[in-house]
Amino acid sequence: MGDEVTGVENQLEELAERVLGFQKYILRRAWGIYYSVWSFATLSWMFLPSIIEFLYPHAPSLSYFVAYSIVGIIAGAATARIFSNARRTLVLRRIVSKVRRPKRTLIYRMWWLPFYGFIILAFIFVKPYFYTLLMILLVSVDLFVYYELKASFSRIPPEGLLAIASFAASIALGLYASLVSNSYLLFGVDWLPMVLSWLFCSLYALYHAPDYMVE
């Protein structure tokens, strides 16, 4: 009897493993769309405040606030929609791999509320250092991307590594621009490496997602 029950368990586990293999393909496609969404969101953050300020020059600070909020909400909602299946995939993976939900993941999920709180407080109270503080806070986003990629795939695909590296490079450029050079040109282009490489990552992920089906 015990052997037979184990046999049934093995059959059910085999099915789960097969679905998890398929989910790698689905998740890589989802990451591909995610890179595109945030690449365009970052591009909008670079130019939208200036456009709003040009159209409504009476409150320059407001243009940044409005542009950042609108783009952030749209891109955030799109991200939630894109990854709605990722959480359910993790539930199945945890059952099969017999691991409990790590505390680190919970901490990362709970980090978003203070994250936005810090941004708003920095914008209101320490405006001269806002950009520097924002760059420091964005390090946590890069770490978040890293952990989410690790959770989605057993081995981070190459475009994922490029996305993390280019994001870090843009943060470093932003910090350099705000702390050392104060060059307007650098402020204008510090996020271009991220925008361009995430666009490339998106295309690469969408093109190579079927590779997981072959595996």
Partner 1 sequence: MRQIIWLSDLLSESGVEGQESELRALSLQLNDPVLKSTARLLILISLGINRRLGFVDLLNLTGVGKGSLSNHLQKLESKGLIRVRRIPTFGGLRVRVEITQEGLAVYRNYLELLSKLIAKSNNV
The residue ranges that bind partner 1 (CB under 8 A) are: 1-2, 4-9, 11-13, 15-16, 18-19, 22-23, 25-26, 84-85, 88-89, 91-92, 95-96, 98, 210, 213
Please report, as a single letter, which amino acid is at residue 83.
F
Q: Is 99 helix (H, G, I), strand (E, B) or coil?
A: coil
The rounded distance, in Å, linking the Cα atoms of 95 and 112 is 27
The rounded distance, in Å, linking the Cα atoms of 118 and 179 is 19
Q: Which is nearer to partner 1, 114 or 210 (CB)?
A: 210
Distance in Å, CB of 82 to partner 1, minimum? 12
Q: Which is nearer to partner 1, 96 or 192 (CB)?
A: 96
User: In whole angstroms, how far apart are CA 9 and each of 4, 22, 117?
Assistant: 9, 20, 47
What is the 3-class SS of 55-93, one letter each residue?
Answer: HCCCCHHHHHHHHHHHHHHHHHHHHHHHCHHHHHHHHHH
Could you give the angle at which helices 2-55 and 158-176 cross, rounded to 10 degrees?
40
Q: Which is nearer to partner 1, 69 or 85 (CB)?
A: 85
Q: Which is nearer to partner 1, 86 or 137 (CB)?
A: 86
Distance in Å, CB of 75 to partner 1, minimum? 22
Distance in Å, CB of 5 to partner 1, minimum? 6
Distance in Å, CB of 14 to partner 1, minimum? 9
Q: Which is nearer to partner 1, 9 or 107 (CB)?
A: 9
Distance in Å, CB of 84 to partner 1, minimum? 8
